[in-house]
Amino acid sequence: MEEIVEVLVDTLLAGPEYQTFCKCKKCRNDVVALSLNNIPPQYATTQQNRERVYELYSKPDMRKWLNKRIISALHVVNKYPKHNI
């Protein structure tokens, strides 16, 4: 799950909508952590389970749902960064 969220966070931060957002490692990690806290855990102890999780979150409706949580986290971290701007 972490890998999926990290890729989506990096993709969103690279987009034109978020050019004014801080992209330092601290803020990026805060966005990932906050996003993961707002997503139900998906434990995968085998390769088969891992593939099932990837398959689940590669569906368009689930990807949209995930993006909403990540975008919300981006705005929270941007509004309340843990460092001086």
What confidence tens digit (pLDDT) does each residue in 16-53 have? 999 999 999 999 999 999 999 999 988 889 999 989 99
The tally of CA atoms less than 13 A away on the side-chain side of residue 76 is 14
Q: What is the mean pLDDT of residues 2-6?
A: 91
pLDDT band at 84 (very low <50, low <70, confident <90, very high): confident
Q: What span, in angstroms and rounded, lies between the C-alpha atoms of 83 and 41?
A: 28
What is the rounded average pLDDT of the residues 5-20? 93
Are 18 and 31 within 8 A, CB to CB? no
Please check whether residue 66 is in contact with residue 5, taking contact to mean a CB–CB distance below 8 angstroms: yes
Q: For residue 85, what pLDDT is reported?
A: 60
| 58 touches 8 (CB < 8 A) | no
CA distance 22 to 61: 28
